[in-house]
Amino acid sequence: MPFAPRTPSDQDADVASPRFPRGRGYTDEEQAERLLADEKTSHIRDDTSPTNYARLSFCARYALPLCAVLFVASAVNLFLALRRPSDEACAARTSLWSPALPAVRYIEYDFANSFGQKSPYRGPPTPEREALWDELVFQHAVEIPANRVPTNHTSSKLRRLPSGGYAALLEVFHQLHCLNRIRQYTWLQSGNYNPNDEDTEGVHIPHDFRTNRVANRMHIDHCIETLRLTLMCHGDVTPVMILEDGGSVLGRRAEFSARHVCRDFRAIQRWVGGHVAEL
């Protein structure tokens, strides 16, 4: 039985598929483009498989929120770091203007201050100990620009410098002078200074005390008042802990070796040494 000839519609039926719809013929190039497009579509469908969906779900539930939390935490830390004032800014908020403000640095350390604590500054007068105190007290004057003179001073009575500014001392060295004066006075009352200048033994009476007794007493009272005003002005609120101590009379004692935040005194000393005013 002879075969019937194939018609164009029969040929279209052989290649009819979602890739190649019926109704027209396709060139080789068109068929290749369709196949490539179908492969890309299949990859997209593969991405929505249960395994890939689980991965996307995990990222959405955990990874993205974690990243958001870390970003917010980093932003907050950066904000706080930028807001934290510098040492110089802190000093400016707690002091009147001073040319030494840029030298102020804050340090943290424990005081070594128990009742029997040994210290090179503590004890009866010796040549070495007097020299240590002198090194703390005797510092040079510094210059205050004319436009920075405190308003409660009359410039006509101030010590004018050749440069046009005015001479001043930093208050901390006056306070240390007063403390040293009281220290010397107590040892003078105890007879620990040698009154005989011709005697080479011991430490001789400081020249400041070779005035009349009334002047000495007035100077000491001035120094006591200076330290009272200073301590009340600064109002240190550092906690001093109370310890149980069965060996003490009250059964307890204060721990005076407390940690403090302090201005770096040596840094201030160095600044003064580099900014000496020529009187």
DSSP 241: -
| pLDDT band (50, 70, 90) for residue 126 | very high
CB 230 within 8 A of CB 182: no
Please determine, for residue 61, whether its predicted confidence score (pLDDT) is greater than 80. Answer: no
Higher pLDDT, 197 or 194: 194
| pLDDT band (50, 70, 90) for residue 172 | very high
What is the rounded average pLDDT of the residues 69-94?
75
Element (H, E) at 48: none
Least confident of 43-57, 104-118, 136-150: 43-57
pLDDT (tens digit, 9 = 90+) per residue, 40-58? 555 544 455 556 556 656 6
pLDDT (tens digit, 9 = 90+) per residue, 24-38? 555 666 655 665 555
CB 112 within 8 A of CB 256: no
Please determine, for residue 232, whether its predicted confidence score (pLDDT) is greater than 80. Answer: yes
Give the per-residue pLDDT at 156.
Answer: 79
Which SS3 state, helix, strand or coil, does residue 91 take? Answer: helix
Please determine, for residue 258, whether its predicted confidence score (pLDDT) is greater than 60. Answer: yes
Higher pLDDT, 205 or 151: 205
Least confident of 31-45, 79-93, 197-211: 31-45
In the Cβ-directed half-sphere of 243, how many Cα atoms lie within 13 Å? Answer: 12
Closest CA to 174 of 219, 218, 220, 223: 223
Q: 168 - beta bridge partners? A: 142
What is the rounded average pLDDT of the residues 116-120?
93
In sequence order, what DSSP letters do the residues of 156-218 get, joined into one string? GGS-B-TTSSEEE--HHHHHHHHHHHHHHHHHHHTT-SB--TT--SS-BPPGGGSS-HHHHHH
Higher pLDDT, 44 or 95: 95
Please determine, for residue 19, whether its predicted confidence score (pLDDT) is greater than 60. Answer: no
Give the per-residue pLDDT at 122.
Answer: 97
Please determine, for residue 2, whether its predicted confidence score (pLDDT) is greater than 60. Answer: no
Which SS3 state, helix, strand or coil, does residue 244 take? Answer: strand
Give the per-residue pLDDT at 69.
Answer: 81
Integer Cα distance of 204 and 26 in angstroms? 121
Q: How far apart are the first and last CA of the chain?
A: 136
Q: Can you read off the two tokens belonging to residue 251?
A: 């059964």
Give the per-residue pLDDT at 15.
Answer: 43
Least confident of 84-88, 124-128, 187-191, 256-260: 84-88
Percent of the chain residues past pLDDT 90, beyond the cut: 51
Distances (CA, A) of 256 to 63, 237, 273: 52, 13, 32
Which SS3 state, helix, strand or coil, does residue 257 take? Answer: coil
Give the per-residue pLDDT at 6.
Answer: 47
Which SS3 state, helix, strand or coil, does residue 274 take? Answer: coil
Which SS3 state, helix, strand or coil, does residue 72 take? Answer: helix
Give the per-residue pLDDT at 91.
Answer: 79
